Amino acid sequence: MNKSSGSFRKAQPIWLTGLETEKNVFAGYRAIVHGEPGERLKLRIAASSIYRCFANGKFIGHGPAAAPHGYYRIDEWELPEEIIDGDVTVAIEVAGYNVNSFYTLDQPSFVQAEVVRDDGLVLASTGAGDQAGFEAGLLSERIRKTQRYSFQRAFTEVYRLYPWYADWRKSSVAPFCTSAQWNVVEDKSLLSRGIAYPDFTLRHPEARIQQGTVTMRGQLDNYRKDRSLTGVGSTYLGYREEALETIPSLFLQEAVADVRQELHIPYDLDAALKLGEFGYQIVDFGTNLTGFVGASIACSVPTRLYFLFDEVLTDGDIDFLRLDAVNVIGYELQPGTYEIEALEPNSMRYLKLLVLKGEAQVRGLYLREYANADVDRAAFSSGNAAIDSIFRAGIETYRQNTVDVFMDCPSRERAGWLCDSFFTARTAFDVSGHTGLERFFFENYLLPSGFRNLPEGMLPMCYPADHYDGNFIPNWGLWFVVQLEEYVLRSGDAEMAQAFKTKVCALFRYFEGFRNEDGLLERLDGWIFVECTDANEWVQDVNYPTNMLYAGALSAAARLYEIAEWEKDAEQVRATVREQSFNGQFFVDNAVRIDGHLEAENHISEVCQYYAFFFGIADSASYPELFRILLEQFGPLYRGEARNYPHIPHTNQLVGNFMRMEVLSLEGCANQLLKELPAFFEHMAKTTGTLWEHDGPVASCNHGFASHVVRVLYRDLLGVSIDPVRRTIELHPGTVELNACSGTIPIGDDVIRVEWEKKDGELKLTMQIPSDYRVDIVNSTGMPLKRVIGI
């Protein structure tokens, strides 16, 4: 793990005078340091809200890593060795947002940075008032009064640029466009980064797929506007619509393609894309990626160029509002040549370049990835093209959603959601071999003494985030407890569980206030979330899936803290749910209180059945007929257009599809999983190379929890289950109807390699196991086992 210390040697936190709490301020800081060839120099930096840094104009980093309220993490970036030969210009750009979001926190802007030599000598630092200090500038090229990118993230990027706008990053000779005074601000509580640094690999488009021209159709009767534009107020901060200097989400709706030419030709990195007024080009990166889009742009007249992007095409074009986000970056350019790169990470497979004024030649398009680099040891191969493509999509989804927290998606929100994190954390261990990122995720929840705007004892549904509207998901607090137990079983880190005991106890005290005479939770406050189907409508007065989860959380906490009373409560909840919810064929979703008595309603969802099996309410032995129905008549192969049981809503991705896979695994139905996995995921892998939030492309097409399919492939198809605390591996080779399968699973600094093949009536098993692990092999194939140690 690449870590940094939690303190600075000399640097002090500073910001542009009087602008610490102003919205969407773009500031630059520069220092000139001297280095001799062979010396190693590093930039150590903390900031709010986000920053990127350069050495002699060369990009070296972006951050910071997420931290809870009142804390800030220090990054350390090595300056490239090849530029250390005399004076080096170190430049930092910081966007101070000062609005609440699910991604960055509403905290005063600052930067604290120093350039340090290997021997510890500080060559430059913020707060120094002499030649060893950083000078400051207000970077006016980014328009401040822009609309928010989405309800969950801060501002869109719109720039007014002159050809010399970035010269200050490269040399002390070039001045800031607007120099500014700075002042030292209050001291900050600092943390080490604590996790690996991102992957910044440059990716280029694979193809040009379309070109044409647009016509501006004039003012529309109805513009698409979402809450990020219309909802700005006292609890949702930003600039109101009437105060905005530019609103690309509106006037770009007026641009309609009148000439469209399909191309589908390879993208030439050296050739220029020539765009005249009202002209456009669409390029395809081949895979849905996340990062910072950039290019070289030349224009001979004043030009307005827009980058529009999305993960999929809609009716052959890019719907830049499909995601309930403004997938637009705008550039107003004076004549000249520019090297541009977005400040914010965005997700896209398709990128549309549109000129609404002037002309432009665009070369060298790229996307600088912003992804988790700790995935390169994980591998899987089955010989089944669909299955192998799903593994690759799972890895791609994971790496883009785990830069610093377990995000839901790297596009619309970039938020560290609970429940999602339960599934992604499993994948994290499987593809990295450790629980470092999960520990980091928990640390963010642990450090704050409390959470503003939430009921006492409740945990935020996603964090770090600001929930000024008081919204929360009570279910997600319960998923937190279930994940915490699994974390301890993965890591052996019992100290983390003990550190959370006060908060876990407070959480259960909160729920005590909603327990009815039967011990069930009734009339919960907040956003009760079961699944993105009709199941989310059937949540009052008593929601049985929520109570199934409640029982699971009580049992997890009882085991963690050895509190027998909680296990007793859990058993009572399970027994009561069986009695009240099961109607003889299915478990129903809810009951309502009528004249003082609870009456079960006739609402039945598919996901409710999986909650029952996942949380120990039911199993195939106690409910054999229900399990038979689920196995033989439910799932993606059998329900289709609701052919079976049309009155029962089928599951969606979060959480029903994944709960189904877990139930099938628990019941030993690996071959059923092998059949169903392509039905669930192959179309996603083909369409975007990532896995989606929903069954269809109606929202995010890159959602972190869906990477959990990697665990399914390792555990149920390859047949490997690992207990890292006990140092044991349970191996079930050849269980599924594949001829062969192989995989590499990282474990600490080592790896587990397993290959099995069915050939000539024999099961051949080859494996490489760490020396401190014990392996138990279960051969259920009926074939003689030929075991070979070492690969």
CB 610 within 8 A of CB 652: no
Average pLDDT over residues 132-147: 95
pLDDT of residue 640: 65
% the chain with pLDDT above 90: 95
Q: Does domain 202-372 have CATH number 2.60.120?
A: yes
**Cβ–Cβ contacts within 10 Å for residue 122, how many?**
17
Residue 789 — very low, low, confident or very high, per pLDDT cuts 50/70/90?
Answer: low
Residue 3: pLDDT over 50: no
Q: Do 14-139+176-196 and 202-372 show the same overall fold?
A: yes
Q: Please give the biggest Cα pair distance in the chain.
A: 84
What is the rounded CA–CA span in Å between residue 122 and residue 43?
10
Q: Is the pLDDT of residue 219 over 80?
A: yes
Q: Report, as an integer, the average pLDDT of 165-169.
A: 95
What's the pLDDT tens digit per position in 707-716? 999 999 999 9
Q: pLDDT category, 2, cuts 50, 70, 90?
A: very low
pLDDT digits (tens, 9 = 90+) for 643-663: 789 899 999 999 999 999 999
Interatomic CA distance for residues 419 and 475, integer angstroms: 8
Q: What is the pLDDT of residue 639?
A: 77
Q: Mean per-residue pLDDT for 722-748?
A: 97
pLDDT tens-digit series, residues 583-630: 999 999 999 999 999 999 999 999 999 999 999 999 999 999 999 999
Task: Report the distance separating Cα 166 and Cα 58, nearest Å.
Answer: 11
For position 165, what pLDDT does the model report? Answer: 94
> Considering only CA atoms, which of 447, 443, 528 is closest in space to residue 487?
443
Q: What is the reported pLDDT for 173?
A: 83
> In this predicted structure, what is the pLDDT of residue 642?
55
Q: Report d(CA 433, CA 187) in Å as an integer.
A: 37
100 pLDDT higher than 90 = yes
Tens digits of residue pLDDT in 392-443: 999 999 999 999 999 999 999 999 999 999 999 999 999 999 999 999 999 9
pLDDT at 504 over 80: yes
pLDDT of residue 449 exceeding 50: yes
Tokens of 465: 């985030």
Closest CA to 501 of 520, 517, 481, 521: 481
pLDDT value of residue 1: 32
Give CATH for domain 14-139+176-196.
2.60.120.260
Local structure of residue 784 (DSSP, 8 states):
P
Q: What DSSP string describes 586-651?
A: SB-SEEEEETTEEEE-S---HHHHHHHHHTTS--TTTSHHHHHHHHHH-STTT-TTT-S-TTSPPP
- Domain residue ranges of the chain, discontinuous segments joined by +: 14-139+176-196, 202-372
Secondary structure of residue 191 in the 3-state scheme: strand
221: left (phi over 0), alpha (psi -120 to 50) or beta: alpha
> Could you give the strand order of the β-sheet that contains 597-600, starting from the edge strand earlier in sequence?
542-543, 590-594, 597-600
Whole-angstrom CA distances from 285 to 280, 385, 399, 756 are 17, 21, 17, 35
Could you give the CA distance from residue 760 to residue 782 in angstroms, rounded to a whole number? 13
What's the pLDDT score for residue 493? 98
Average pLDDT over residues 575-580: 98
Does residue 791 carry a pLDDT above 70? no
Q: Are 157 and 342 in contact (CB under 8 A)?
A: yes
Secondary structure (DSSP) of 441-498 = HHHHHHSSS--TTS-TTPPPSBSS---TT----HHHHHHHHHHHHHHHHHH--HHHHH
Tell me the CB-side half-sphere exposure of residue 128, using CA atoms within 13 A.
20
For residue 344, pLDDT over 70 is answered with yes
Band of the pLDDT at 788, cuts 50, 70, 90?
A: confident
Place of tokens 């029982």: 551
Cis preceding-peptide flag for 655 (omega within 30 of 0):
yes
- Give per-residue pLDDT as tens, 169-208: 998 888 887 888 999 999 999 999 999 999 999 999 999 9
How far is CA 554 from each of CA 550, 557, 560, 567, 577, rounded to the nearest angstrom? 6, 5, 10, 6, 15
The answer, yes or no, to whether residue 346 has pLDDT greater than 90, is yes
Residue 37 CA to its chain's centroid (Å): 40
Least Cα distance to 690 among 410, 437, 425, 419 occurs for 410
Q: Which helix (DSSP H) or strand (DSSP E) does residue 71 occupy?
A: strand 71-78
Average per-residue pLDDT in the chain? 96
Does 481 score more than 70 pLDDT? yes
pLDDT above 50 for 4: no
Helices and strands, counts by H and E, the chain: 15, 36
